[in-house]
Structures are given as C-alpha cells and as structure tokens.
Structure 1
C-alpha cells in the first residue's frame, strides 16, 4: 500500500516541478499528468518521483491537516511505509 501526502508546487520548469510537503522539498516529474500544473497547485506523487494526480486545494489541506494531527500524536509521516 502507498500513502501519498499532497505536495505543494513551488516551481515548474521543463516538465519538472519543485514541490514541498511537511518541510521536505523534492523535484518530481510531471510526465504522467495531462493537466497544466501551476505554482501553488497540490500534487500526489508516486514513490518513484512521478506526480500522478492534481488535488483540489481544499482536499489537500484537509488531508495535510489530518496527517499533521497524527504526527502531533507521536507519528512521523516520513516513516510511514518504512521497513522496520
């Protein structure tokens, strides 16, 4: 199972986007998307670094708030899915 946290787009150039989620920045490929991506959009990103879906801002904020609530109770979303 894969859990994708919505990542906010900071920059877009040459089929790539710089995104941020929970303070972590990374460059991702936009190759799988058919929609135009703009700065400020939220994306779901596969583990391999490919954005696969654009998410409405309200839905993204709701998901991020839920994840933040879980992390505030001692969980770390960056470790979800990590092999123990």
Structure 2
C-alpha cells in the first residue's frame, strides 16, 4: 500500500518538477499526470517520486493537518522527510 502525500511545486522542467514536502525539496516525475502543472500548484506524490494527481491548496492543507494528527497520535516528533 502506498501513502499519497501532497507537495507544492517549486519549479517545472519538462517531465520533472522540484517540489516541497514538509520542508524537504524533491525532484519528481510528472509523467503520470494527466494535466500540466505550474509553480505553486499542489500535486499528490506516491512512492515519494511520482506526482499522480493535481490538488487544490485547501485539500493539501487538510491532508497536512491529517498527517500531523496521525503523527501526533502515534507519538512521532519529526515530520516525514
């Protein structure tokens, strides 16, 4: 099972993008996205390296809140990198 995580697009270069997720920057593939993305958009990441969907900022913020709640519940002090 894969956990899908939201990330904000920082830059786009063809079929790849640099995204920010919990303060960490990652280079990800956009090859699986059915629509183009731009700087500032949010995408859903799977397997930490593939953007599989675009999402709006409100949905991304709600996902982050849910992840924070989960981490707090299980006692984790650090956010995932």
Shorter-chain TM-score: what band? 0.7 to 0.9
TM-score (norm 2): 0.82
Residue matched to 1:8: 8
Residue matched to 2:22: 22
Q: 1:48 to 1:24 in 2, by over 3 A?
A: closer
Residue matched to 2:80: 78
Residue matched to 2:55: 55
Residue matched to 1:41: 41
- Count of aligned residue pairs for this structure pair: 79
Residue matched to 1:67: 67
TM-score (norm 1): 0.79
Structure 1 vs Structure 2 CA RMSD: 2.0
The structure where strand makes up a greater share of residues is 2
> Where do 5+ consecutive residues of structure 2 fail to align?
none
Structure 1: which 4+ aligned runs deviate by more than 3 Å? none
Alpha-carbon offset, residue 46 of structure 1? 2.0
Q: Distance in 1 between matches of 2:56 and 2:17?
A: 17
